């Protein structure tokens, strides 16, 4: 990716003194970030919350290289096998290509960096089946519901073996049950430690259930105004469901909710 540099780092992702501004039509500068620092560790899931307009999607655009920062660096660590790290980005809007079938859309992420193999196709077929999309494998995006398209976009994101995954409100159009299933899938993905996830969500429950850390982005320029490690005592393995039943869940919820609210009052003028 164009913003990332091959600098020695032991973390999958390091954001170093990142600054960015947009120039508005009236010539004014909208300073979104100024000297932002942020590190994501191996296997970590970080949830980013913040009011609408805080700069969450812009941050992802900067990390992924879609936008070039005004100043500062995005540094990607290597994969465990020494290959360069790779970012997969699931945009807030699903962005499926209308002229490709669902299966070919799912394979697009892999195809962007290498020739797809039969093995990739098998994995794609399996993953689509898991998400209840077997019957539409050869259909085109136009015939799918919003939730189905999101599941295809997630399949595409997960298939390309990234070291860092950026998910921008990935589950917002899904029914609750599917949502819990996909939350589990994302959590399982990080268990080997080879993949880290940054997740933007406006759902506080989802942020707490899924993440090792919740980061609250607020103010202008946007700063990390809260950086809360999440430790949950679950019955058995931590899953989307067991996490929500943890005794600590409620207190985290209150704390993050208050953080969001305070941020609205201070910067909502």
Ligand X SMILES: Nc1ncnc2c1ncn2[C@@H]1O[C@H](COP(=O)(O)OP(=O)(O)O)[C@@H](O)[C@H]1O
Residue 32 interacting entry, from ligand X, Mg ion, none, C-beta within 5 to 8 Å by type: ligand X
Contact between residue 84 and residue 6 where contact means Cβ atoms under 8 Å apart: yes
Applying the rule CB under 6 A, the residues between 58 and 77 that interact with ligand X are 58
Residue 246 in tokens: 């943890």
Segment contacting ligand X by CB under 6 A, of 56-64, 108-116, 133-141, 175-183: 56-64
Bridge partners of 213, per DSSP, are 46, 229
Applying the rule CB under 5 A, the residues between 82 and 111 that interact with Mg ion are none
The beta-strand segments (E) located in the chain are 4-5, 13-23, 29-40, 45-49, 71-76, 87-90, 164-168, 196-200, 213-218, 223-229
The Cα-based distances of 115 to 75, 82, 105, 118, 224 in angstroms read 26, 20, 14, 10, 40
114: CB partners within 8 A, 6+ apart: none
Applying the rule CB under 6 A, the residues between 208 and 267 that interact with ligand X are none
Q: Which is nearer to Mg ion, 89 or 131 (CB)?
A: 89
Decide: is 52 part of the binding site for ligand X (CB under 6 A).
yes
Number of residues engaging Mg ion in binding (CB under 5 A): 2
Q: Which is nearer to Mg ion, 50 or 77 (CB)?
A: 50
State the nearest-atom distance from the C-beta of 168 to ligand X, in Å: 7
State the nearest-atom distance from the C-beta of 57 to Mg ion, in Å: 3
Site string for ligand X, 19-48 (x = CB under 6 A): ---x-x-----x-x----------------
Residue 120 in tokens: 């990739």
The residues of the shown chain that bind ligand X, judged by CB under 6 A, are 22, 24, 30, 32, 50, 52-58
């Amino acid at each position: 990716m164009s913003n990332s540099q091959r600098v020695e780092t032991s973390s999958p992702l390091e954001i170093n003194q990142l600054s960015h501004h947009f120039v508005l039509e009236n010539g004014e500068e909208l300073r979104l970030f100024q000297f932002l620092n942020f590190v994501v560790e191996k296997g970590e899931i970080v949830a980013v919350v913040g009011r609408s307009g805080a700069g969450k999607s812009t941050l992802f655009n900067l990390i992924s290289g879609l936008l070039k920062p005004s100043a500062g660096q995005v540094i990607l660590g290597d994969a465990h096998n020494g290959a360069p790290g790779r970012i997969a980005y699931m945009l807030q809007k699903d962005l499926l290509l209308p002229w490709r079938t669902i299966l070919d859309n799912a394979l697009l992420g892999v195809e962007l960096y290498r020739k797809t193999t039969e093995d990739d196709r098998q994995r794609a077929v399996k993953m689509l089946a898991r998400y209840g999309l077997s019957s539409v494998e050869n259909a085109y995006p136009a015939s799918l519901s919003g939730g189905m398209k999101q599941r295809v976009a997630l399949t595409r994101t997960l298939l390309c073996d990234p070291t860092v995954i950026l998910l921008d409100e990935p589950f917002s159009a899904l029914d609750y049950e599917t949502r819990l299933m996909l939350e589990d899938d994302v959590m399982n993905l990080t268990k080997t430690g080879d993949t880290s996830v940054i997740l933007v969500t406006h759902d506080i429950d989802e942020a707490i259930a899924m993440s090792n850390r919740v980061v609250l982005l607020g103010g202008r320029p946007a700063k990390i105004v809260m950086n809360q490690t999440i430790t949950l005592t679950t019955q058995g393995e931590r899953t989307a469901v067991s996490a929500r039943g943890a005794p600590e869940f409620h207190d985290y919820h209150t704390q993050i909710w208050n953080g969001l609210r305070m941020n609205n009052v201070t910067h909502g003028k």
